[in-house]
Amino acid sequence: MGIETQSQPSPPAQAGNWKKGIFISLFIVALSFLYAFLRYNVVRNVPYEQIPLFISNKVFALSSLIIIGSAFLLGPLAGFFPKTFLPKLYLRKPLGLIGFGVAALHSFISLAILNPSYYPKLFDASGKLNFVGETSLLFGILAFAVFSITAISSIPAIEERMRPEQWKRIQRLGYLVYFFVLMHVAIMGFKGWFDPASYKYGLVSISLISVLFIIFVFILRILAGVFKKKN
Ligand code: HEM
């Protein structure tokens, strides 16, 4: 997925482009892991046995959101600092596609462990999803569905058959994906943000970090639009 925010489309993803995208993504995954490990295993005593799926799922959720956001940020940053960021615009496609892959991992793991013992706040006493669970998951699934369309349209054989304007229009659906993710995470995490216990040692919840990051990306995008109109 190229996540177009500037007038020129990204060049087709090539091996060299991928190396840097993979390196940046691995760095984001490592930082997210460090944060999740500190907040959940160290501060909240989540057992180490739950690192392979429960903790990793939080890591993949947060890192996919930041990787996608980095792809979005490159457009506005190229508007503000063209010398530094115009040459980096090619990273949007590898970052968008890697973000999609990591979101897929998060979705599969979530479905594998989606039960009341892992996620009590999403279920009612009878074991069915409660309203928070149903609505937040609906937005997660919508995000993933629309994200799949943008990713599929970036498969070279499919992209080549589209007009550049058509392809760019599909990539703009990325913003809808980000809006759905905002809803997915905000509905799920909202209640916890008002619980003082959730701020132990200043380590705020991953859902709050996610929502603030998404809002930051949207604000920068809007500012870049205003800045572009003025110049
Ligand atoms: C573009 C797709 C998606 C993105 C970027 C995304 C992102 C996120 C983020 C950032 C969180 C917050 C994690 C936390 O508070 O610890 C989260 C939580 C969660 N998501 Fe997603 N999500 C996506 C799609 C899905 C899908 C399709 C499902 C399931 C079918 C899903 C199920 C869950 C569950 C169960 C949680 C709770 C995880 C936890 O608290 O440990 N998500 N998601």
Binned at pLDDT 50, 70 and 90, residue 14 comes out as low
Contact status, residue 91 vs residue 24, Cβ threshold 8 Å: yes
CA 140–ligand 1 middle distance (angstroms): 6
In whole numbers, what is the pLDDT of the chain averaged over residues?
93
Dump pLDDT digits (tens) for 46-98: 999 999 999 999 999 999 999 999 999 999 999 999 999 999 999 999 999 99
Q: What number is the average pLDDT over the span 129-157?
A: 96
Q: What number is the average pLDDT over the span 20-34?
A: 98
Distance set, CA 215 to CA 23, 117, 174, 180, 193 (Å): 25, 31, 14, 12, 16
Out of 98, 106, 113, give the residue to mutate to test ligand 1, the one with the largest number of ligand atoms within 8 Å of its CB: 106
Report how far residue 11's alpha carbon sits from residue 2's, in angstroms, rounded to the nearest whole number: 9
Dump pLDDT digits (tens) for 174-196: 999 999 999 999 999 999 999 99
* 69 Cβ contact list (under 8 Å, min separation 6): 178, 213, 214, 217
216 belongs to a structural domain: yes
CA 136–ligand 1 middle distance (angstroms): 9
Overall residue count recorded for the chain in this entry:
231
Per the structure, the complete domain to which residue 74 belongs is given by 15-230
Out of 173, 188, 203, give the residue to mutate to test ligand 1, the one with the largest number of ligand atoms within 8 Å of its CB: 188
Report how far residue 8's alpha carbon sits from residue 34's, in angstroms, rounded to the nearest whole number: 36
8 belongs to a structural domain: no
What global pTM score does this model have?
0.92
Ligand 1 site residues, Cβ closer than 6 angstroms: 57-58, 61-62, 64-65, 103, 106-107, 110-111, 114, 119, 137, 140-141, 143-144, 147, 177, 181, 184-185, 188-189, 205-207, 210
5 belongs to a structural domain: no
Per-residue pLDDT at 4: 47
129 belongs to a structural domain: yes
Q: Specify the number of domains making up the chain.
A: 1
CA 107–ligand 1 middle distance (angstroms): 7
Out of 32, 66, 146, 184, give the residue to mutate to test ligand 1, the one with the largest number of ligand atoms within 8 Å of its CB: 184
CA 137–ligand 1 middle distance (angstroms): 8
10 belongs to a structural domain: no
Across-strand partners of 123?
A: 129
106 belongs to a structural domain: yes
The single-letter code of the amino acid at 191 is K
Identify the three-state secondary structure at position 123. strand
73 belongs to a structural domain: yes
Share of the chain above pLDDT 90, in %: 88
7 belongs to a structural domain: no
